[in-house]
Amino acid sequence: MNLALFVWISCVAISGAILFMVMTGMLNAALPKKSQRDSWFEMNNQILNALFTLMCLYQHPQRFYHLVLLCRWRPKDVLRLRKIYCKHGTFKPHEWMHMMVVVLLLQLNCFAQYALCGLNLGYPRSRRPPIGVGICITFAFGGAAAASVYNILSPLGREYEIEVDQEASVQTSTSQPARLRLKSLEKKYSFVVQEDRSVPENKPECIGGLFDF
């Protein structure tokens, strides 16, 4: 996965750099004719369009799945979503609302990219509506950027004091008796631990009753 992501980032960087140099006239010496510059511009524009659309197609099913988990909102779903969207995977105030905002912004990012892909593939460059392209690019990049910024600045990205919520209380209540029994055994048979650690004990003494197991 890391190798595939590295290849994707490399292709985006190379195509984006070529597109930028063609737009700013840095390649006019190598591409003296306007038709050549237009061809290179359109080719790299379509490559970037394909790369971003491919990334949306890869991530969109998972984003739909997160939307289903938010609508269902069961205890297991809450814990799973916290690991993804909440800092340190802990409880955050009004977390359902903030997670829903982030997921909807990511949905907007995907649908806007699909619309942009349709415009790039359905129209030649001369007939492509610039207003529609601009709106789609704004929502595509703006949705992803807004989701990232909102996830950081909202309560999802902040640290709060640990509070006992419904899911955490269930886990704590089930594990607390086992911890108490473990501490009780360590306290009663501490001399055994000392003998295992090769610590000399002059007068070992068992703490407990005769029939205390």
> In this predicted model, which residue has the larger pLDDT, 14 or 211?
14
Cβ contacts of 133-137, under 8 Å, gap ≥ 24? 136/112, 137/112
The arithmetic mean of pLDDT across residues 127-151, rounded, is 95
Are residue 108 and residue 196 in the same domain, yes or no?
no
> Helix 75-85 crosses helix 34-72 at what angle (to 10 degrees)?
150
What is the number of domains present in the chain? Answer: 2
CB contact at 8 A, 119 and 129 = yes
* Alpha carbon distance 109, 176 (integer Å): 44
- Beta carbons within 10 angstroms of residue 140's beta carbon: 23
Q: For 168-205, what is each residue's pLDDT tens digit?
A: 444 544 455 555 555 554 444 444 444 444 556 666 67
Are residue 108 and residue 187 in the same domain, yes or no?
no
Q: For 60-107, what is each residue's pLDDT tens digit?
A: 999 999 999 999 999 999 999 999 999 989 999 999 999 999 999 999
Q: Which domain holds residue 53?
A: 12-160
Are residue 52 and residue 114 in the same domain, yes or no?
yes
* Alpha carbon distance 195, 204 (integer Å): 10
Provide the whole-model pTM. 0.71
Are residue 68 and residue 108 in the same domain, yes or no?
yes
